[in-house]
Amino acid sequence: MSNERNRMMDPNDPVNRYLPAGEEPVHNPYGASRQIADASGKLSEQLQSLEGEKISLMKRLNMVLAELEKATHEKSDVALKLREQERHAEELRQKLGEVQSLKSVVNKNL
């Protein structure tokens, strides 16, 4: 086990996870600022992508709402025409009843 530990502490080991006693990791401020800039750039790209998707969804929603409004107007027009047809049919029934009454009176008189 100590052999494995020595291998992990070997400075030439590319997967050196442990630093020898007394050594500290090197702090590279340029690498950190580059990582921050890269992360910031990726975040900006993702935000722009989400903004584009949001705009696309808003346009689609507006189109669907316009179609709904059009369908609602068409429905009210059809309902109005149906009510007119019902009134016309009722008038025809009343006239037919009057004709039946006149026909029965004429038949009695003949």
- pLDDT value of residue 7: 45
- pLDDT value of residue 92: 94
- pLDDT value of residue 104: 78
- What pLDDT digit, counting tens, does each position of 41-88 carry? 999 999 999 999 999 999 999 999 999 999 999 999 999 999 999 999
Q: Give me the residue spans of the domains in the chain.
A: 31-109
Q: DSSP letters of the chain?
A: -HHHHHHHT-TT-TT--SPPTT--PPP-HHHHHHHHHHHHHHHHHHHHHHHHHHHHHHHHHHHHHHHHHHHHHHHHHHHHHHHHHHHHHHHHHHHHHHHHHHHHHHHHH-
Quick check: pTM over 0.75? no
The more confidently predicted of residues 58 and 5 is 58
